[in-house]
């Protein structure tokens, strides 16, 4: 039997008081506890009383036992928690929380003020997710009796991807634990002693000089604005959050993406998805929004006329492709299917190929040697390929891409594709079949790969391509017993389709340049 606040509650042996309280909707303020991390017991916000024990016990490390009688709210507990919280705030730039004008300020001062130094919540990039503010509200906190102390630590902005302002750090140790226990990296550690204790790398090295993976897990678990991803600051509450699967490699990491103004503004590992505990990579965590929000995206279909590529609409572009297909025998046509397509698009390509009796289906760069061998005249590729001008037999090139990648300048038709964050479907990963969710709209006329195939098929009067949703394609695949395959893209592959990620994401370039010498992975 377990009693919390006078009520008998169901419990499971081996769980902590905090876990049981949460399961039963009993609020206990916490700052260092995090559901993905081993408990630490540092913030002392979760203090409760256990009947028969003299002092207070912290709920986040104390395991429940049969017969335990727990009190989570009392005057004495409140006094202790408030006092501890007051101590935390005495070393955190929290003036905005105490400010008498805070309500007005929040209402009329739209947007966070960008500032080099964070002096309060209204200059803090993480204001909206800040857990201190939530607790402050819950405790209805209004004053601090202790002198305020600003640590005057240098703000660390000399690394790619994320900034660190340890003047905001409350020493909850989440970043230290996630780095050590989840990422297995141990880059972040506690340094110094006593009141000078701080979190950081050993010897205060920049992260780029350590073995930091820039997985961003530390940023994601930080309850304050101490750690912030540089490219996703200042956007306040997102309009929407959508979870999807990263397609940049076969690992199949799930992300939750913040959407604002129709663009991806930030992302973090999907908290609902446990397989992430094997670690996530910098490409997914930090590069995606910068990569895919990029201005260099292909936005309009183009057709070559008089040696120049002119923008056009989809009907004309599809008709052009159809025309090319009709003008060449299938044996002289080849399809290059990029590993970065969702399973449904991949299937539709193989389907159209078989309908048109095209047998030259290439899936890797090595397959390209067949162009010369077989005297291929038409190449329809779904990713930019290098040195296409070297294949003398090629007469027509159709490029379906997200970016104006290699081969763009030799193409006869350009088909702008939606990125995987702009379409719905499934992909097969190391974790099995996972869903891809449409997070944002594709830019301008860019279209999902499978829709482009369907359009071309229509132009060719092929039947069996009239799909409205990918779920219908999935249904057909299931009926035919066709399964997606993992695509053989390993974690440290540097491209998305035909484009080097580093070309579009400057911070990533800094990283791989810096690590080239010593980090064999990249």
Partner 1 sequence: MIDFDTMVKKAKASWNSLHDQKKPVIFAGAASCGRAAGILPVIEQLKELSKKIPLDIIEVGCIGPCYLEPIIGIQIKGEPTILYANVQPIQAQELVENYLVKNDPQPDKAIGTIGEGKIEGIQSFWEHPMIKDQVRIVLKNCGIIDPANINHYLAMDGYQGLKQALAMKPEDVIEKVQESGLRGRGGAGFPTGLKWKFTRSEKEPEKYIICNADEGDPGAFMNRSLIEGDPHAVLEGMVIGAYAIGASTGYVYCRAEYPLAIDRFEKAIAAMKKHGLLGENILNSGFSFDIQIKKGAGAFVCGEETALIASIEGERGMPRQKPPYPSQEGVWGKPTVINNVETLGTVPVILREKSSWYTKYGTKQSKGTKTFSLVGKVKRTGLIEVPLGTTLRKVIFDIGGGIKEDKGFKAIQVGGPSGGTIPSAFIDETLDYEELTKLGAIMGSGGVVVIDEDTCVVDLAKYFLQFIQAESCGKCVPCRVGNKQLLDLLVKISKGLGNIDDFELLEELAFTISQGSLCGLGKTAPNPVITTLTYFRDEYKAHVIDKICPAKVCKDLFLYQVDAETCIGCEICRKRCPVGAITGEKKQPHVIDFEKCIKCDVCSTNCPAKAIRKIDKVSVKIVSN
8 A C-beta contact, residue 454 and residue 465: yes
- The dihedrals phi and psi of 243, each to the nearest 5 degrees, come to -100, 140
**C-alpha–C-alpha distance, residues 147 and 311, integer Å:** 65
Instruction: Give the nearest distance from C-beta 42 to partner 1 in angstroms.
Output: 5
Tokens at residue 451, please?
């829709």
Judged by CB under 8 A, the residue of 24, 90, 210, 350 near partner 1 is: 90
Residue 462's Cβ-count burial label (10 Å; 0-12, 13-18, 19+) is middle
47 binds ligand SF4 (CB under 6 A): no
Tokens of 209: 């000089």
Q: Does 276 bind ligand SF4 (CB under 6 A)?
A: no
Q: Which is nearer to ligand FES, 43 or 376 (CB)?
A: 43
Q: Is residue 127 at the binding interface for ligand SF4, with CB under 6 A as the rule?
A: yes
Q: Which residues contact 110 (CB under 8 A, 6 or more apart)?
A: none
Where do runs of H (alpha helix) occur along 122-209? 131-138, 174-177
* 122 touches, from ligand FES, partner 1, ligand SF4, none (C-beta below 5 to 8 Å by class): ligand FES
Q: Residue 84: name its binding partner from ligand SF4, ligand FES, partner 1, none (Cβ under 5 to 8 Å by kind).
A: partner 1
Pick one of partner 1, ligand SF4, ligand FES, none as the site partner of residue 127 (Cβ within 5 to 8 A by kind): ligand SF4
Rounded Cα–Cα distance for residues 482 and 63 (Å): 49
Binder among 2, 185, 334, 419 for ligand SF4 (CB under 6 A): 185
- Angle between helix axes 75-89 and 131-138 (nearest 10 degrees) is 140
Which positions lie near ligand FES, rule CB under 6 A? 30-33, 41-46, 58, 60, 96, 99, 101-102, 105, 122
Rounded distance, CA 146 to CA 166, Å? 20
Residues 191 and 177: their CA atoms lie apart, in Å, by 14
* Residue 328 interacting partner from ligand SF4, partner 1, ligand FES, none (CB closer than 5 to 8 Å by kind): none
53 is a contact residue toward partner 1 (CB under 8 A): no
Cβ neighbours of residue 463 closer than 8 Å, sequence gap 6 or more: none
Binding to ligand SF4 by residue 199, rule CB under 6 A? Answer: yes
Residue whose C-alpha is closest to residue 356's, from 404, 316, 315, 324: 324
**Pairing mode, strands 413-416 and 396-401:** parallel
Q: Which stretch binds ligand SF4 (CB under 6 A): 140-148, 206-214, 260-268, 317-325?
A: 206-214
194: contact with partner 1 by CB under 8 A: yes
Per-residue interface string for the shown chain with partner 1, residues 20-49, x marking contact by CB under 8 A: -------------------xxxxxx--x--
Q: 221 or 276, CB closer to partner 1? A: 221
CB of 98 to ligand FES, least distance (A): 8
Question: For the window 157-186, what string marks contact with partner 1 as x by the rule CB under 8 A?
Answer: -------------xx-x-------------
| Spatial separation of the C-alpha atoms in residues 148 and 91, rounded to whole Å | 6
Beta carbons of 258 and 235 less than 8 angstroms apart: yes
State how far the Cα of 340 lies from the Cα of 342, in Å rounded to an integer.
Answer: 7
User: Which of the ranges 210-218, 263-271, 335-343, 360-368 carries the binding residues for ligand SF4, by CB under 6 A?
Assistant: 210-218
Binding residues for ligand SF4 restricted to 82-101, rule: CB under 6 A: 92-94
251 binds ligand SF4 (CB under 6 A): no
- The greatest distance separating any two alpha carbons of the chain, rounded to the nearest whole angstrom, comes to 89
CA distance 350 to 335: 9
389: DSSP letter: G
Residue 34: CB minimum distance to ligand FES, A? 9
Q: Which residues bind partner 1 (CB under 8 A)?
A: 39-44, 47, 55-56, 58, 61-63, 79-80, 83-84, 87-88, 90-91, 145-147, 149, 170-171, 173, 189-190, 192-198
Q: Which residues bind ligand SF4 (CB under 6 A)?
A: 92-94, 118, 120-121, 124, 126-127, 130, 132-133, 168-175, 178-179, 183, 185, 187-188, 199, 207, 212-218, 221-227
């Amino acid at each position: 039997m377990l009693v919390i606040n006078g009520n008998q509650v169901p419990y499971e042996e081996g769980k902590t008081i905090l876990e049981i309280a949460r399961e039963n909707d009993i609020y206990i303020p916490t700052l260092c506890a995090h559901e993905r991390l081993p408990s630490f017991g540092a913030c002392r916000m979760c203090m409760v009383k256990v009947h028969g024990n003299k002092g207070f016990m912290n709920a986040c490390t104390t395991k429940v036992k049969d017969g335990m009688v727990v009190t989570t709210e009392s005057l004495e507990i409140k006094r202790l928690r408030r006092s501890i919280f007051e101590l935390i705030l005495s070393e955190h730039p929290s003036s905005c929380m105490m400010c008498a004008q805070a309500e007005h300020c929040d209402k009329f001062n739209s947007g966070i003020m960008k500032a080099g130094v964070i002096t309060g919540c209204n200059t803090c990039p993480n204001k909206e997710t800040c857990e201190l503010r939530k607790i402050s509200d819950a405790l209805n906190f209004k004053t601090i009796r202790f002198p305020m102390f600003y640590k005057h630590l240098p703000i660390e902005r000399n690394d790619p991807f994320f900034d660190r302002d340890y003047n905001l750090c409350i020493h909850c140790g989440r970043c230290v634990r996630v780095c050590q226990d989840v990422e297995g990296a141990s880059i972040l550690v506690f340094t110094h002693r006593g009141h000078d204790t701080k979190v950081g790398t050993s010897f205060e090295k920049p992260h780029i000089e350590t073995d930091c993976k820039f997985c961003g897990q530390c940023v994601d678990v930080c309850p304050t604005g101490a750690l912030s991803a540089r490219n996703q600051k200042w956007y306040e509450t997102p309009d929407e959050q959508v979870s999807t699967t990263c397609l940049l490699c076969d690992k199949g990491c799930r992300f939750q993406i913040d959407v604002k103004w129709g663009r991806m503004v930030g992302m973090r590992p999907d908290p609902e998805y446990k397989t992430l505990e094997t670690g996530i990579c910098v490409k997914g965590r930090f590069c995606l929004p910068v990569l895919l929000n990029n201005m260099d995206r292909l936005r309009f279909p183009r057709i070559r006329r008089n040696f120049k590529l002119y923008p056009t609409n989809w009907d004309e572009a599809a008709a052009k492709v159809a025309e090319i297909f009709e003008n060449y025998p299938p044996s002289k046509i080849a399809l290059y299917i990029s590993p970065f397509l969702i399973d449904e698009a991949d299937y539709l390509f193989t389907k159209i190929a078989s309908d048109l009796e095209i047998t030259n289906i290439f899936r890797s760069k090595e397959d390209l040697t067949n162009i010369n061998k077989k005297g291929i005249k038409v190449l329809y590729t779904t990713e930019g390929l290098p040195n296409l001008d070297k294949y003398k037999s090629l007469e027509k090139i159709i490029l379906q891409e997200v970016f104006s990648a290699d081969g763009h300048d030799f193409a006869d038709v350009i088909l702008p594709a939606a990125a995987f964050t702009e379409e719905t479907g499934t992909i097969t990963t190391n974790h099995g079949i996972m869903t891809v969710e449409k997070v944002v709209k594709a830019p301008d006329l860019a279209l999902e790969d499978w829709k482009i195939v369907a359009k071309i098929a229509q132009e060719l009067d092929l039947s069996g391509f009239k799909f409205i949703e990918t779920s219908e394609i999935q249904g057909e695949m299931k009926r035919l017993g066709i399964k997606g395959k993992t695509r053989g893209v390993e974690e440290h592959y540097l491209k998305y389709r035909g484009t080097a990620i580093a070309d579009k994401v400057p911070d990533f370039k800094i990283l791989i340049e810096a690590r080239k010498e010593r980090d064999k992975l990249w």
